């Protein structure tokens, strides 16, 4: 009989019945994290690029219309805070940098000094950039939950974010206090036009319920780069609209849960990665045979400070990690296809060069060039 094998935490490694070769696979290590990864970005260069994005935005009609619209919604009210979830990688992605530039312009125009940001994918150095710009980086993933002020206005910005974030945000403020909120996110109107009503009612019920009482300002997408603010609208919930609701309208259930979300990163996904709940030690290529620590047991151990040394017969298969891989793959796909576009715009040749341009480029003179 073969000797039992144990991992460094004392859990027995259960060999696969289908394939006993126990080849190592390329499953991400338990150190992989969504947040605060150590990918290096050059802070000074990033800040320079952000400043240049601010300059471009300041020179645009888009910003002028945007600020005018926000100012109209605010009327004489004070903007107390700006909250932004889902900026993405500001160190690597132009789209994220321009969206960040919008935050800076909003902060300056409305003299609002409380700006909070969160994205589970931020690198440590990106958090440093945001802090240098005077923003507060929210450390934990509240999944879009943020309770707004009851006195003054909070502007909430979810740039191109999964609709689950917006639904959770509405759930966490589900009352007539929503009159104190300006919500900038993917257009409710286009979401409702482009998805079957039944599906939306099941998946994002709070967006569906509030939509008839929302006012949406659609801005012309006339910024120089059309993939930064596309499909983005300003939504607000005027008092006079909300007063037409019955009190039962505001009763709410438990925090929404979602199935098959692709871009939405839950707190549990982050926690699983950060606590290294999956102890990947040995596994075959197809069916994995790995000891898996039960998430609850791991959290209990963490609280008690002791390991209970249990062996589980759970096998790590695709399903248990599926959400994490799906969300990460989807994000990477979007991110890298946008980077590809950016690089193309910046470096691709501008079409065929004329004979004289080509000659000049390589230092030749054409016969009819004047002699020096």
Q: Which residues bind ligand SAM (CB under 6 A)?
A: 85-88, 95-96, 99, 118-121, 141, 143, 159-162, 165, 263-265, 331, 334
Judged by phi (left if over 0) then psi (alpha if -120 to 50, else beta), residue 160 lies in left
Q: Which is nearer to ligand SAM, 110 or 331 (CB)?
A: 331
Q: Name which of 157, 145, 140, 142 is nearest 96 in CA terms.
A: 157
Closest CB to ligand SAM among residues 97, 180: 97
Q: Among residues 287 and 334, whose Cβ is nearest to ligand SAM?
A: 334
The 3-state secondary structure of 98-123 reads HHHHHHHHHHHHCCCCCEEEECCCCE
* Maximal C-alpha separation, the chain: 92
Minimum distance from CB of 118 to ligand SAM (Å)? 5
* Residue 28, both tokens: 């991400």
Helix (H, G, I), strand (E, B) or coil at 240: helix
Task: Using alpha carbons, select from 84, 66, 97 the residue that is nearest to residue 135.
Answer: 84
Q: Considering beta carbons, is residue 130 or 165 the nearer one to ligand SAM?
A: 165
Q: How far is the CB of 195 from ligand SAM (least distance, A)?
A: 16
> Least separation, in Å, of the C-beta of 309 and ligand SAM?
34
- In the complex, minimum distance from the CB of residue 350 to ligand SAM, in angstroms, rounded to a whole number: 26
CB of 120 vs ligand SAM, minimal distance in Å: 5
Whether 217 contacts 234, CB under 8 Å = yes
Looking at the Cβ atoms of 86 and 91, the one nearer to ligand SAM is: 86
Choose between 22 and 164: whose C-beta lies nearer to ligand SAM: 164
Question: 71 vs 23, 67, 104, 121, 215, CA distance in Å?
Answer: 61, 6, 16, 32, 15
Minimum distance between the CB of residue 35 and ligand SAM, rounded to whole angstroms?
Answer: 10
Four-point Cα dihedral 316, 319, 321, 324, nearest 10: 170
């Amino acid at each position: 009989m073969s000797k039992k094998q144990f991992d460094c935490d004392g859990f027995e490694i259960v060999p696969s019945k289908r394939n006993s070769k126990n080849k190592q696979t390329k499953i991400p290590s338990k150190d992989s994290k969504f947040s605060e990864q150590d990918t290096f970005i050059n802070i000074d260069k990033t800040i320079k690029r952000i400043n240049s994005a601010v300059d471009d935005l300041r020179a645009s009609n888009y910003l002028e219309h945007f600020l005018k619209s926000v100012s109209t919604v605010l009327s004489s009210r004070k903007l107390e805070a700006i909250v932004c979830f889902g900026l993405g990688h500001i160190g690597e992605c132009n789209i994220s940098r321009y969206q960040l530039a919008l935050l800076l312009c909003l902060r300056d125009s409305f003299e609002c000094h409380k700006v909070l940001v969160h994205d589970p994918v931020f690198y440590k150095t990106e958090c440093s950039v945001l802090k240098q710009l005077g923003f507060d980086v929210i450390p934990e993933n509240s999944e879009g939950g943020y309770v707004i002020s009851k006195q003054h206005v909070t502007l909430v910005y979810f740039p191109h974010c999964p609709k689950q974030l917006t639904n959770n945000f509405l759930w966490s403020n589900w009352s007539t206090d929503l009159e104190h909120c300006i919500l900038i996110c993917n257009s409710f109107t286009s979401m409702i036009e482009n998805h079957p009503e039944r599906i939306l009612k099941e998946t994002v019920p709070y967006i569906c319920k509030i939509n008839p009482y929302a006012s949406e300002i659609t801005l012309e997408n006339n910024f120089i780069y059309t993939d930064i603010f596309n499909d983005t609208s300003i939504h607000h919930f005027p008092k006079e609209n909300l007063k037409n609701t019955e009190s039962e309208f505001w009763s709410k259930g438990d925090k929404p849960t979602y199935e098959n979300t692709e871009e939405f990163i839950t707190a549990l996904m982050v926690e699983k990665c950060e606590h290294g709940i999956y102890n990947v030690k040995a596994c075959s290529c197809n069916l994995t045979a790995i000891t898996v620590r039960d998430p609850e047991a791991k959290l209990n151990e963490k609280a008690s400070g002791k390991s209970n040394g249990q062996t589980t017969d759970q096998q790590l298969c695709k399903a248990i990690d599926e959400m994490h891989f799906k969300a990460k793959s989807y994000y990477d796909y979007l991110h890298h296809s946008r980077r590809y576009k950016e690089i193309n715009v910046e470096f691709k040749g501008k079409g065929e060069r004329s004979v004289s341009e080509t000659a000049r480029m390589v230092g030749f003179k054409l016969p009819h060039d004047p002699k020096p």
